[in-house]
């Protein structure tokens, strides 16, 4: 009798622990992301992150390179980007980091709608990833003025804003002091999304002005 009572007590305690764990997990999931990333980031390997994103649940094939694969500012940034399921809007002055380009390309292949706004002068520089992304079929638009398109922000699924001082270049990622803020905040996301849509429309090639008014 006493043994049965003890067993029932233990079962109840286990159920209570499970319930608390589930509640904590749900709370963690529901809690909006607020993360700050500081660069420079030490060089890291993102093969495991890309493989997991390309084929979720597939057995991990460890990369033979000696670089750390997690815990760096770059790997955390890549993880946030790869969380995209529907859309990724990028507004980037300079984009020459091959690792970030691979992450963006992977999202495009996975059916995420990627749109990229960039700077006309910087997209032509040596090492720029813009050509590669265009060849992959990603929509790119750029400015038509002398002033720079100097923004550096990304919006994931119209839900998460990634913004800061960081240009998406390996040089900046590995050498510069930079900050990036990752927030799920509806107000901030809306402001940046509106700015993105404004720029996207302004840079629509159909709206280009080839011959300013008054010229013949
Ligand atoms: Zn590696």
pLDDT digits (tens, 9 = 90+) for 79-93: 999 999 999 999 999
CA of residue 55 to ligand 1 center, whole Å: 17
Residue 213 has pLDDT above 80, yes or no: no
pLDDT tens digit sequence for 71-126: 899 999 999 999 999 999 999 999 999 999 999 999 999 999 999 999 988 887 88
- The token pair at 190 is 């809306």
Strand order in 152-156's β-sheet? 34-39, 178-183, 160-164, 152-156, 87-92, 113-118, 139-142
Residue 69 has pLDDT above 90, yes or no: no
Q: Give ∠ CA 202-102-44 in degrees, rounded to 5.
A: 125
CA of residue 48 to ligand 1 center, whole Å: 8
194 is catalytic: no
What's the whole-number mean pLDDT along residues 49-78?
90
Range 100-139 burial, b when 16+ CB lie within 10 A, else e? bbbbbbbbbeeebebbbbbbeebbeeeebbbeebeeeebe
157 is catalytic: yes
What is the CB neighbour count within 10 angstroms for residue 157? Answer: 16
Residue 57 has pLDDT above 80, yes or no: yes
CA of residue 46 to ligand 1 center, whole Å: 7
For the whole model, what pTM was predicted? 0.84
Confidence label for 135 from pLDDT (cuts 50, 70 and 90)? very high
Rounded to 10 degrees, what is the CA torsion of 133, 94, 187, 24? 70
């Amino acid at each position: 009798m006493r043994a049965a009572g003890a067993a029932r007590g233990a079962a109840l305690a286990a159920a209570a622990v499970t319930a608390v764990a589930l509640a904590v997990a749900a709370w963690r999931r529901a809690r909006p992301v607020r993360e700050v990333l500081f660069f420079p980031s030490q060089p890291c390997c993102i093969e495991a992150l890309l493989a997991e994103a390309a084929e979720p649940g597939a057995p991990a094939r460890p990369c033979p390179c000696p670089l750390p694969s997690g815990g760096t500012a770059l790997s955390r940034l890549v993880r946030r980007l790869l969380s995209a399921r529907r859309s990724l809007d990028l507004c980037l002055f300079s984009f020459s980091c091959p690792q970030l380009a691979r992450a963006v390309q992977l999202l495009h292949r996975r059916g995420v709608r990627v749109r990229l706004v960039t700077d006309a002068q910087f997209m032509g520089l040596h090492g720029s990833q813009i050509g590669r992304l265009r060849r992959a079929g990603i929509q790119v638009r750029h400015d038509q003025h002398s002033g720079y398109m100097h923004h550096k922000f990304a919006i994931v699924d119209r839900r998460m804003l990634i913004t800061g001082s960081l240009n998406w270049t390996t040089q900046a990622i590995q050498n510069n002091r930079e900050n990036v803020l990752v927030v799920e905040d509806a107000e901030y996301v809306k402001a940046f999304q509106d700015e993105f849509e404004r720029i996207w429309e302004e840079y629509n090639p159909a709206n280009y002005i080839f011959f300013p008014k008054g010229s013949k």
